[in-house]
Amino acid sequence: MGAESQKIVFGMPLPAEKDAQRGSRKPRLDKAERDQMIFQTIHVDTLIPEDHPARAIWEFVGKMDLTSLYLKINAVEGTAGRSATDPHTLISLWIYAYSQGISSAREMEKLCEYHPAFQWLTGMKVINHHTLSDFRIGNKEALDGLFTQTLGLLSAENLITLERVMHDGTKIKANAGADSFRTEERIQAHLKMAKAHLESMGDPTETPSDDRARKARERAAHERKERLETALRELEKIRAHKPDEEAMRKARASQTDPEARIMKQSNGGYGPSYNVQISTDRANGVIVGVEATQEANDCGRLLPAVEKIQENTGCLPKQMVADGGYTNRQNILAMDEKGVEFIGSMPDVSKTTLAQFARRGIDPAFYPGSFRYNPKRNTYTCPAGKVLTYAGKAKRHGLTEYHYRANDNDCAACAFKEKCCPQSPKKGRCVVRTENHSVVHAFITKMNTPEAKEIYRQRGPTAEFPNAWIKEKMKLRQFRLRGLRKIGMECVWACLTYNIQSWIRLRWSPPGLSSVMC
Ligand code: SF4
C-alpha cells in the first residue's frame, strides 16, 4: 500500500497531525470473539420493560380461576416424577403468541430459547412443543370457561354492556387444499390402500417396538385411515344438501380436512373453509360470542349467536345488529320471540323475482304489477279485463301468500296467452299477493327511519374490525389445525387474545409506571 493511499481511511483523508502520530501502527479494534465460553447473570424479571404486554397478559390470566386445569394434573407434592408445567404459564404463552401472530407450537418452543418475552413468561425454561400443542387442544371445556371468565372480568370493569351487539361472519381457510376433495369412489380406493398399508405393518401388540420412528409411522397410518373414514361420513352429510342424483354422485369431500367445506372467500374465489361467526359488543368492541360452523350461509347463524351470548354472559343482548345475510323473516320473528330488538337490512328481492318471471318467458307487460287488485271483492283483474278469483293461501315464515287464478277457458282463448302464461298450456294464470306478518311489517317500517339507519351504519366498523384484526394482526387467515372441534378452539384462543388485548388497551396500567405517574 502506498503512502498516499494510507492517508485515506473509508474514503476520508486523515488530519495531517493524526497521521503523524499513528505512523505505521494499525487501529486497535474490539472484535467479536466467538471461540469462548461465558457465564452471564440475568435477572429474569428485567428481561422485559415494566409496560410490556407479556406482563399484562400474565396479570390478567392470574385473575382467572384455573382450578379445573390444576385438578387434571397428576403430579402432586410428595410423589416422585417430573412436575407439570403451570397452566398459568401455558395460557399466558399461547395468548402472547397469538397476539404476536404466532400459532405454531414448534416456533414457540424455539422462541422460549432466546426471545425475552417468552423467556420472562417461562422463567427461562424451554417448553416442549408437544406440551404446548397438547395444552392448546386438550382442554376445550376449560378454554370455553376461560373465555366466559374473561367476559366476567371485563364486565366487572364496565367494558361490556350488551346494549347493542354487532354480529358478522367471516370465512377462514381450512388447512387443506382444494385438490384434496375427492369423490366417494376415490376415497374408497384410498381407504382400501390405507388399510392394506396398516395390515402390512403388522399388529403392534404382537411386535412391540421401542423404535420411535416406526411408532410415528404407525400413528400416521392410523390417522390417515381415520381421516378417510371421516371423509366418507362427511360425504354423506354433503350429499344430503344436494338437489338431485347427479349432484349427489359428483359430491366430494376433503381427504385432508374432511369437515371443511368449499366456501366463497372475500376475494371472490372458492376454497376449503370454515365460517366463523363473531358477536361484538358495541360499547368497547369486546367479542362476546364466537362460533365456527360448516355452513357457508350466514342466515341460520343469528339465533345460535344470540344463544351463545346468553350462554357466555348469562344475559341476552338488548339489540342485535347484522347485515343482509342474516335479515330474513325467519330471523326477524326469532329475534322478536327472544325479546331481542333486531336491526338489519332486508335484501331487495324484486330483481330476483323479475328474473324468475323472465325465465318463465312472461312478457314485462304481464308481470303481477299489471294486474289490478280489488280489495272489496278480493279479486284481481288482468290486462285483458278478465277476473282472477281467490284460490287459497299458504303460510310461510313471517309471510302469508294469497293465490288468485284466472279461469282456464279465459286464458286458453286469450290472444295474450303466449305473453302472459306461456308455461301453463291448460291452466289459467295465477297471481300471488303477499302479506307480511305484523312483526315483519313493523321491522320494515322501523328500518326506514333515520334512527335505525344510523344504528345500522355503525355495524361495519364495529363488527368487521375484530375479523380484520384476527386475520391481519394474528395472521389467522388459515387455520393451523384440522377438524371442526380443533379449529373452533383456535377461534376461541384468538378471540380470548383479542379481548385481553382490548383490556390492556382500555384498562391496564403497569404497576411500576402507575406509581411513577402518581
Ligand atoms: S292469459 Fe289469462 S290472465 Fe293473461 S291476459 Fe289473457 S286472460 Fe288474462
What pLDDT is stored for residue 518 in this prediction?
36
Task: For residue 129, give the H/E element and its range.
Answer: helix 129-137
- Grouping H, G, I as helix, E, B as strand and the rest as coil, residue 66 is coil
Please, are residues 427 and 435 in contact by the beta-carbon 8 Å criterion? no
pLDDT at residue 279 greater than cutoff 80: yes
pLDDT classification of 474: cutoffs 50, 70, 90: very high
Does a structural domain hold residue 27? no
Q: Which of 370, 379, 414, 427 to mutate to test the pocket of ligand 1 (most atoms within 8 A of CB)?
A: 414
Residues 244 and 324 in one domain: no
How far is the centre of ligand 1, averaged over its atoms, from the C-alpha of 410 (Å)? 7
At residue 57, does pLDDT exceed 50?
A: yes
DSSP β-ladder status, 319-321 and 12-13 = unpaired
- pLDDT reported for residue 324: 94
Choice between 345 and 22, residue whose per-residue pLDDT is larger? 345
**Listed residue (123, 67, 63, 65) closest to 93, CA to CA:** 123
Residues 299-310 have a mean pLDDT of 97
- What pLDDT does residue 24 have? 80
Q: What are the distances in angstroms from CA 235 to CA 229, 334, 345, 457?
A: 10, 31, 34, 40
Cα(35) to centroid of ligand 1, in Å?
99
Whole-number Å distance, alpha carbon 418 to ligand 1 midpoint, is 9
DSSP state, 467? H
Ligand 1 centroid to Cα of residue 404, in Å, is 12
The number of residues in the chain equals 518
pLDDT of residue 439: 96
Contact 258, 176 (CB under 8 A): no
CATH label of the domain that carries residue 267? 3.30.420.10
Is 90 exceeded by the pLDDT of residue 268?
no
DSSP 8-state class, residue 127: P
Distance, CA of 139 to CA of 74 (rounded, Å): 15
pLDDT in tens, 422-431: 988 889 999 9
H/E element, 254: strand 253-254
In a domain, 449, yes or no: yes
Q: Which atom of ligand 1 is nearest to the CA of 407?
A: 2
Specify if 148 maps to a domain: no
For residue 32, tell me if it sits in a domain: no
Q: How far apart are CA 1 and CA 169, in angstroms?
A: 71
Q: Are strands 341-343 and 379-381 parallel, antiparallel or unpaired?
A: unpaired
* Domain's final residue, options 437, 459, 475: 437
The Å distance, Cα 382 to ligand 1 centre, comes to: 6
| Lowest mean pLDDT, pick from 90-99, 214-223, 269-278, 365-374 | 214-223
* Contact predicate 253/466, CB 8 Å: no
Domain span at 249: 178-204+213-254
- Which atom belonging to ligand 1 lies closest to the Cα atom of 411? 2
Q: Quick check: is 268 in a domain?
A: yes
Please tell me whether residues 287 and 359 are part of one structural domain. Answer: no
Query: In Å, how far are 172, 198, 266 from 257, measured between CA atoms?
Result: 13, 20, 21
Orientation angle between helical segments 484-506 and 129-137, nearest 10 degrees: 100
Q: Are 423 and 413 in contact (CB under 8 A)?
A: no
Distance, CA of 253 to CA of 154 (rounded, Å)? 41
Is 18 domain-assigned? no
Total number of domains in the chain: 4
Together in a domain, 104 and 165: no
Same domain, yes or no: 389 and 410: yes
Q: Angle, to 10 degrees, between the axis of helix 438-447 and the axis of helix 329-338?
A: 100
Distance, in Å, from the CA atom of 177 to the CA atom of 257, rounded to the nearest integer, reads: 9
Q: Tell whether 363 and 228 lie within a shared domain.
A: no
pLDDT band at 1; cut points 50, 70, 90: very low
CA of 432 to the centre of ligand 1 (A): 15
Classify burial at 506, counting beta carbons within 10 Å of its beta carbon; exposed 0-12, middle 13-18, buried 19 or more. middle
**Mutation choice for ligand 1 from 429, 430, 431, 432, CB with most ligand atoms inside 8 A:** 429
Whole-number Å distance, alpha carbon 457 to ligand 1 midpoint, is 45
**Segment 405-432 mean pLDDT:** 93
Residue 513 is assigned to a structural domain of this protein? no
The residue whose CA is least distant from atom 2 of ligand 1 is 411
* Residue 405 within a domain: yes
* Residue 244 grid coordinates: 338431485
Q: What are 37-55's pLDDT values in tens digits?
A: 999 899 999 999 999 999 9
Contact 319, 341 (CB under 8 A): yes
d(CA 43, CA 176) in angstroms, rounded, equals 44
**Which pLDDT band, with edges at 50, 70 and 90, does 11 fall under?**
low
Ligand 1 centroid–CA 416 distance in Å is 6
C-alpha cell at 141: 371445556
Q: Which atom of ligand 1 is nearest to the CA of 415?
A: 6
- Helices 450-457, 438-447: inter-axial angle, 10-degree rounding: 80
Quick one: cell of 495? 378471540
Residues with beta carbon inside 6 Å of ligand 1? Answer: 382-384, 386, 406, 410-411, 414, 416-417, 420-421, 428-429
Name the grid cell of 116. Answer: 425475552
Average pLDDT, the chain: 91
- Whether residue 343 is found in the same domain as residue 452: yes
pLDDT value, residue 207: 59
User: 370 and 479 share a domain?
Assistant: no
Do 424 and 463 belong together in one domain?
A: no
- Cα distance between residue 130 and residue 182, in whole Å: 31
With 0-12 CB in 10 A as exposed, 13-18 as middle and 19+ as buried, what is 391?
A: middle
Q: Looking at the predicted structure, is the pLDDT value of residue 132 above 80? A: yes
Q: Is the pLDDT of residue 310 over 90?
A: yes
Same domain for 430 and 449: no
CB of 204 closer than 8 Å to CB of 218: yes
Decide if pLDDT at 13 tops 80.
Answer: no
C-alpha 385 – ligand 1 centre gap (Å): 8
Above 70 in pLDDT, residue 7?
A: no
483 and 375 assigned to the same domain: no
pLDDT of 341-365, one tens digit each? 999 998 887 788 888 999 999 999 9
Q: Are 254 and 176 spatial neighbours (Cβ–Cβ below 8 Å)?
A: yes
CA of 409 to the centre of ligand 1 (A): 10
Contact yes or no for 424/387 (Cβ under 8 A): no
Q: How far is CA 432 from CA 352, 400, 403, 436, in A?
A: 15, 10, 5, 13
Helix (H) or strand (E) holding 271: strand 270-281
Q: How far is CA 355 from CA 363, 419, 457, 503, in A?
A: 11, 15, 30, 50
Structure confidence by residue, pLDDT tens digits, 478-518: 999 999 999 999 999 999 999 999 999 999 998 765 544 43
Q: Helix H segments across 176-321?
A: 184-200, 212-240, 245-250, 302-313
Say yes or no to pLDDT of 370 above 90: yes
348 CA distance to ligand 1 centroid (A)? Answer: 28
Check whether residue 455 and residue 477 sit in a common domain.
Answer: yes
Query: Ligand 1 pocket test: which of 408, 417, 430, 432 has the largest number of ligand atoms within 8 Å of its C-beta?
Result: 417
The answer for residues whose C-beta is within 8 angstroms of residue 327's C-beta and 6 or more apart is: 342, 344, 345, 346, 347
254 Cα–ligand 1 center, Å: 52
**How far does residue 60's CA lie from ligand 1's centre (Å)?**
73
273 and 241 in a single domain? The answer is no
Output the CA 403–ligand 1 centroid distance in Å: 15
Question: pLDDT value at position 424?
Answer: 83
